Amino acid sequence: MSQTITADRKWWSGGRSPFNVEYGKLMMWYFLMSDAFTFGAFLISYGTIRFSSNSWPDPNHVFRSFPIIGEMHIPLAFVSLMTFILIMSSVTMVLAVGAGHANDKKKVMFYMFLTILGGLAFLGCQAWEWTHMHGEGAWWGRNPFMNIDGSQSSTNFTNFFFTITGFHGFHVFSGVIINIIMLIMTWKGVFEKRGHYLMIEKAGLYWHFVDLVWVFVFTCFYLF
């Protein structure tokens, strides 16, 4: 005998699993929370250093290139494309979770495939951006961009940029690996035998978190 949640019982009152979610999913939430603090620490230290500097490079000047068409002076266009790719792959991930609810193996595989493709596209964009900036002379410990007021800049900007986007890119990379494993497991029929696709949901939580972090990285580096 078990009760399902109804709208008027939004608080736990004992007698059943307190959060009404599976153990692994709950633990994924707590892991993501700890990961949020890691990213938060990075971004806050970036903010602290930026607040303690008299001037800072201009993101509009630094991020203005686009592949193939080159220096078009269309500021932030490329990073908007990257943001769009990541949000889009987040949508296909939710659709895969939804297909999992309906126990539709083929659809789960299709949407997982699209999600992996989106992740790889994002990584490719990031690889291009890093290569381009490296070509301009930017790297850890080297900063070719001057501050917005024309004064000489320190290497703080590039150090933080490469460390934080690198750490985020590493998360995207591991997310893609996890998604590939999920795709193979779906294909082998592991979840079909199990009777539910909750593993897809857990991988999905991680994937959305990566998207969530990018929202903050985007604001902190490209907009401010």
Partner 1 sequence: MENVHTVEEMQQAEEHSFDTKAIWKTFRILLYITVVELILAISYYEITFSNPHLVKHVLNGVFIMLTLAKAFFIIAEFMHLGHELRNLILTIAIPAMLFLWFIGAFLWDGNSFKNLRNNYDRQHLEQSKEKAPVKEEHESKKPGSIE
Which residue is it, tokens 């750490």? 167
Sign of CA dihedral 13, 24, 166, 163: positive
Residue 33 touching partner 1 (CB under 8 A): yes
Beta carbon of residue 65, minimum distance to partner 1 (angstroms, whole number): 8
Amino acid at 38: T
Q: Which of 136, 155, 181, 189 lies at the binding interface for partner 1 (CB under 8 A)? A: 136
Beta carbon of residue 184, minimum distance to partner 1 (angstroms, whole number): 22
The Cα 158–Cα 130 span in angstroms is 11
The structure tokens listed for 99 are: 């297909």
Report the phi/psi class of residue 20: left, alpha or beta, with left for phi > 0 and alpha for psi in -120 to 50: left
Residue 38 touching partner 1 (CB under 8 A): no
Q: Which of 35, 36, 120, 163 lies at the binding interface for partner 1 (CB under 8 A)? A: 36
Residue 70 touching partner 1 (CB under 8 A): yes
Residues 152-181 within binding reach of partner 1 (CB under 8 A): 152-153
Contact 105, 186 (CB under 8 A): yes
Beta carbon of residue 120, minimum distance to partner 1 (angstroms, whole number): 19
Residue 97 neighbours by CB under 8 Å, 6+ apart: 197, 200, 201, 204
Beta carbon of residue 16, minimum distance to partner 1 (angstroms, whole number): 5
Residue 187 touching partner 1 (CB under 8 A): no
Q: Which of 21, 109, 123, 180 lies at the binding interface for partner 1 (CB under 8 A)? A: 21
Residue 137 touching partner 1 (CB under 8 A): yes
Which among 108-116, 170-178, 183-191, 193-201 is the span making contact with partner 1, rule CB under 8 A? Answer: 193-201
Residue 220 neighbours by CB under 8 Å, 6+ apart: 43, 46, 47, 164
Beta carbon of residue 158, minimum distance to partner 1 (angstroms, whole number): 15
